[in-house]
Each structure stands twice: as C-alpha cells, then as structure tokens.
Structure 1
Amino acid sequence: MNTNQIEALIGMTATFGILVLLILPSVIGLVRERRIDRQIREAQEAREDVPAQKSSSRSTVPSTATWYAEGRRSKKLVSS
C-alpha cells in the first residue's frame, strides 16, 4: 500500500466513524421506543383480560380537603 491508499483508508474510516456517531442516537431511540410500545401493548392486553374491579361495600368518607372544598363551594357571596 502506498501513502495515497493509506490516506484514503484513514479518510473512509473516519467518515464511517462520524456517520456511525451521528446515526447511533437515532437507532438507540428507535429501539427504546419500540420496547416501550411493546410494553404498553402487553399492559393493555393484560388489562383487557382482568375482570372489572367491584366496588367496595364499605362506605367511603370524604377527606378533610374534600369536606373543606365542598363547604367553600356552597357559600355564595351576594352583593347588595
């Protein structure tokens, strides 16, 4: 190999390396997105197989924040 061939080989290798560095993040992102999509699809399929949850027979008591908000909403300001 002469000097011109070695320089061409180094140039092609550098160009290929830069190309790989530019494309690698996109490929990693695509692979990650496909994995997430597959997990979402599997979760939806699993959710369809599970029967609907029955409500509890026990009565629920509203929290203090709910009670306070309801009291505030019911008071109307009347301007004369």
Structure 2
Amino acid sequence: MNTFLDHLTVLAVVALLLAPSLYGALHDRHVDRRLRAAARERPGADTGPGHAEREEPGRARTTRPGILARG
C-alpha cells in the first residue's frame, strides 16, 4: 500500500508540473487556428512564410532586433 501511495504522489506532482504547459500549448493551437481562419477570410492578406515585413517610413533597418538605428 505504501508503494502505491508513493507512485500516486509522484503521478500527482508530475500532473501538477505538466498541466500549465499543456494548457498553454492547447491555447496556442487554438489561437493559431483562429488566426489562420481569419487570414483565409481576408483574400488580400499577405501572411505565411516568406512574407516580408513592412518597414515604417523614417526608420532604418538594423541587424539586431529591438534596436533602432541612429541616423
């Protein structure tokens, strides 16, 4: 009986550790599905791999993301 409770305790700890990450993964899949559905409804939307980002006027492109170029 003691061994059973030990296994049950380990299983409960593993479930508590995995639950948030599994919930997050399922949420991300749901959001991805909704984004793909919204992109399909917009016929002129440029999305997907290889889509070039639009640059804002007056800003230079940098090699490091998050750093604005001075100039």
Spell out the pairing of 1:1-80 with structure 2 (5 A cutoff): 6-48=1-43
Identity of aligned residues (%): 25
C-alpha distance after superposition, 1:1-51 (max 9, x if no partner):
xxxxx11000000000000000000100000000000000000000117xx
* 1:34-79 alpha-carbon deviations (Å, 9 max, x no partner): 0000000000000117xxxxxxxxxxxxxxxxxxxxxxxxxxxxxx
Name the structure, 1 or 2, with higher relative contact order (CA <8 Å, separation 6+).
2
Q: CA RMSD in A?
A: 1.1
Stretches of structure 1 lacking an aligned partner (at least 5 in a row)? 1-5, 50-80
Q: What residue identity is the alignment partner of 2:18?
A: I
Larger radius of gyration: 1
The 4+ residue runs of structure 1 with deviation greater than 6 A are none
Structure 2 unaligned segments of length 5 or more: list them: 45-71
Greater share of residues in helix: 1
- Within 1, Cα distance between the matches of 2:32 and 2:43? 17
